[in-house]
Amino acid sequence: MSSQIEELESLLFDWEAGTLNNEGMARIQEILSQDESARKFFLQQQIMSAALKLEGDAGLIRPAVEDSTNDNVQRVKPVRHSAARPFRFNYWIVATAMLLICALIGRIVYLEFSPDSNQRVSVTADSNSQPQREEATSRGVAIITRLMDVTWDDGQAAIEVGDALPPGRLAIQSGFAQVEFFCGATLIIEGPADLEIESETLARVHNGRLRAQVPPAARGFSLEVDDMKVVDLGTEFGLSVSEEGADVQVFDGEVELQENNQKQLLTAGQALVRNPTGIFERSEMTPERYLDIAALESRAQGRRTARYEQWKAWSEKLRNDPRLITYFAFDQNGGWERRLKCDVLPKNSELDGAIVGARSVPGRWKMKRALEFKQPGDRVRVQIPGEFSSLTFACWVRIDSLDRWYNSLFLTDNYNQGEPHWQILDTGQIYFSVRPSKRGTQGAPDRKVLSPPFWKPSLSGKWLHLATTYDVDAQRTTHYLNGKVLYSESIPDSQLVKTTRIGAATIGNWSMSTKPDARFAIRNLNGRIDELAIFAAALTAEEIKEMYDNGKP
């Protein structure tokens, strides 16, 4: 690779990061106007970026594959593409990318790198010429809205709160699950229980104890047990199914029992037991055996309080960890006075953050706080002196949406040599890099380590624990999601940075106004951050899991 192309690659990297100044833009224009091979290189990079973007937008991102660079560790690796390693796209993606790039390449060069590039002309495409995209879809007939002490049955995939449930089996060995059907009916399921969700108005119960709350809008919701069907007529009832038979109890309203074309009406205060031979008998009401929504919420509140106290004890211990560079627990009492207190012990108020725009909101628990980042200017400014080697970044984050190209977690201001950037792409990938060379000099480009896409719409509004370790000794960057390894990648010698530093940086945004008239790239997080820690060491997988286990709400 010629020296001019190496220089062009470095300048394009600064352009992508949004840190390229006017002199750099002029230099790119000069190289492209003088060097045919540089123009071909630029065209190749743009085609690759456009094709990758089209592939992602089309939902054709290939599944992760195993990274076997370490014989002893099994790692998940997304498909990487680079100029040095050719790859294959679907032909239509390549063709589309070629047409787009060939049509726009001259305009990109002129508009982006000409001296008058700051005065752009907005072009609005004819809406009729826009490519038609399929509407986003999901799949399910009900939603899990609460789980408490649930142990999943063998063969049952673990389900998270907020997940949509498609038709199929739902089985728990113990604990409680609250399921809300799209029709409006709510089931409180106590394990052990095994049922088949048939539709948004029907479930088949094999065993277990359930309490159904069915408002008028959901009237007609039914539960089946063998050849018996319990049809709700706007009520609240309990159903217990075991080897001894089925017990139906009506707490409010009325239900209709259907069996062999026979119908029987049960009203509030009535209960029937059907024994294994199919004979119905009157039985006593035992509503205390069926947990209702209010009782489950009371238990859940007690559990949340216990979880919060557990986290507080663990957090107090963490503050004394000598490897901590900075730690924000977000649990300070009283008015914050636009200051985010650093909680590392011994205390050092010089590490406190300055809150700009972001507002204090409830955190993982109602009894503690978080910061919400919504407006483009929302941020927390920090100044962290010193030089380090390995690093670990960890935080609890609640993402509302990924509607920016780059969604900041923690970004250094200038991204100079040795400085890290930690953010999330709009594709749902965790992005981490450390700049290996000085700005304005020729050198190796940074190693952008991207996780596989982890984001899905059902995660919106949920608290997630994200962590990334930069291990200089092992020459490896590893991303974690909720205490588990999401992706790990080795760092080549030429791109390994042994001395890292932070300096002026921003939480939840990026503070460099690199454009004229104080314009700045919009990279603020759209969501909340609750607890953030930076370590001068690469934490082990066990330590990351411990952090997640002690902090999950």
In this prediction the pTM is: 0.73
**Overall average pLDDT of the 57-81 stretch:** 41
pLDDT for the residue 217: 93
Residues 467 and 430 in one domain: yes
The 10 Å Cβ neighbour count of residue 207 is 16
How many structural domains does the chain have?
Answer: 2
The percentage of the chain sitting over the pLDDT mark of 70, rounded to a whole number, equals: 80
Pairing state of beta strands 222-225 and 202-214?
parallel
Out of 48-62, 175-189, 332-346, 446-460, which region has the weakest mean confidence (pLDDT)? 48-62
In a domain, 121, yes or no: no
Q: Are 105 and 111 in contact (CB under 8 A)?
A: no
Q: 429-432 contacts: CB < 8 A, separation 24 or more?
A: 429/78, 429/453, 429/454, 430/454, 430/466, 430/468, 430/479, 430/481, 430/486, 430/487, 431/406, 432/393, 432/468, 432/470, 432/477, 432/479
Q: How many Cα atoms sit within 13 Å of 281 on the Cβ side?
A: 11
CA pair distance 221, 181, nearest whole angstrom: 9
pLDDT tens per residue, range 90-145: 444 455 555 545 544 554 444 444 444 333 333 333 434 445 667 777 789 999 99
Q: Report the alpha-carbon distance of residue 283 to residue 172 in Å, rounded.
A: 27
In a domain, 475, yes or no: yes
The Cα 23–Cα 6 span in angstroms is 17
- 156 and 270 share one domain: yes
pLDDT at site 382:
97
The size of the chain, in residues, is 553
Beta pairing partners, 165: 142
In a domain, 60, yes or no: no
pLDDT value at position 137?
A: 77
State both tokens at 432.
């981490």
Mean pLDDT estimate for the chain: 84
Share of the chain above pLDDT 90, in %: 63
191 and 287, same domain (yes or no): yes
Q: Looking at the structure, do residues 331 and 269 belong to the same domain, yes or no?
A: no
Confidence of residue 379 (pLDDT cuts 50, 70, 90): very high
DSSP letter at 370 equals E
Task: State pLDDT tens for residues 388-405.
Answer: 999 999 999 999 999 889
| DSSP-assigned letter for residue 166 | P
Looking at the structure, tell me whether residues 392 and 342 fall in a common domain.
yes
Domain of 386, in residue numbers: 309-514+521-551
Assigned domain for 98 exists: no
Does 531 lie in the same domain as 479? yes
| Domain co-membership, 148 together with 209 | yes
Establish if 482 belongs to a structural domain.
yes
Residues 233-256: pLDDT tens digits?
A: 988 999 999 988 999 999 999 999
Give the residues across from 188 on adjacent strands: 178, 211
Listed residues 246, 264, 291: the one ending a domain:
291
pLDDT at 364: 96
CB 512 within 8 A of CB 18: yes
Contact 25, 61 (CB under 8 A): no
Domain membership flag for residue 450: yes
Give the integer Cα–Cα distance in Å for 512 and 508.
Answer: 13
Could you tell me which of 246, 218, 245 has the C-alpha nearest to residue 232? 218
Band the pLDDT of 46: cuts 50, 70, 90: low
The answer on pLDDT for 406 being more than 60 is yes
Mean pLDDT of 323-344: 88
Q: What pLDDT sits at residue 107? A: 44
Q: Domain for residue 221, yes or no? A: yes
pLDDT exceeds cutoff 80 at 368: yes
3-state SS assignment for residue 70: coil
CATH of the domain at 204: 2.60.120.1440
pLDDT at residue 132, rounded to an integer: 60
The structure tokens 């993982």 sit at 364
Contact 325, 348 (CB under 8 A): no
Query: Which tokens in the block code for residue 21?
Result: 């100044």
In this model, does residue 86 exceed pLDDT 80? Answer: no
**Is 341 in the same domain as 441?**
yes
Q: Which amino acid is at 66?
A: E
Contacts of 488 (CB under 8 A, 6+ apart): 67, 73, 75, 76, 77, 476, 477, 478, 479
Provide the 10 A C-beta neighbour count for residue 238.
22
Please work out, in degrees rounded to the nearest 5, the angle formed at the alpha carbon of residue 493 by the alpha carbons of 488 and 499: 85
pLDDT band per the 50, 70, 90 thresholds, residue 178: very high
Clarify whether residues 280 and 313 are in a common domain.
Answer: no
Q: Residue 331's pLDDT is what? A: 87
67-71, 186-190, 412-416: lowest mean pLDDT where?
A: 67-71
Q: 480-523: per-residue pLDDT in tens?
A: 999 999 999 999 999 999 999 999 999 999 976 556 676 777 89
Q: Per-residue pLDDT for 527 more than 90?
A: yes
Burial class (CB in 10 A: 0-12, 13-18, 19+), 140: middle
**324 within 8 A of 244, measured Cβ to Cβ:** no
Q: Is 185 left (phi over 0), alpha (psi -120 to 50) or beta?
A: beta
Query: What would the two tokens of residue 219 be?
Result: 């009237």
Return the structure tokens found at 146. Answer: 């609460």
User: Interior CA angle at 183 toward 177 and 187, to 5°?
Assistant: 20
Amino acid at the residue 476: R
- CATH number, domain of 380, equals 2.60.120.200
With b for 16 or more beta-carbon neighbours within 10 A and e for fewer, the 100-134 pattern comes to: bbeeebeeebeeebeeebeeeeeeeeeeeeeeeee
Q: Pick 43 or 463 by higher pLDDT.
A: 463
pLDDT beyond 50 at 155? yes
Q: Residues 156, 172: contact at Cβ < 8 Å?
A: yes
Let me know: does 249 contact 226? Beta carbons within 8 Å.
no
Considering the domain architecture, whether residues 213 and 278 belong to the same structural domain is answered as yes
Q: Which of 4-13, 57-66, 88-97 has the lowest mean pLDDT?
A: 57-66
Inside any domain, residue 125: no
Q: Are residues 287 and 313 in the same domain?
A: no
Looking at the structure, tell me whether residues 278 and 317 fall in a common domain: no
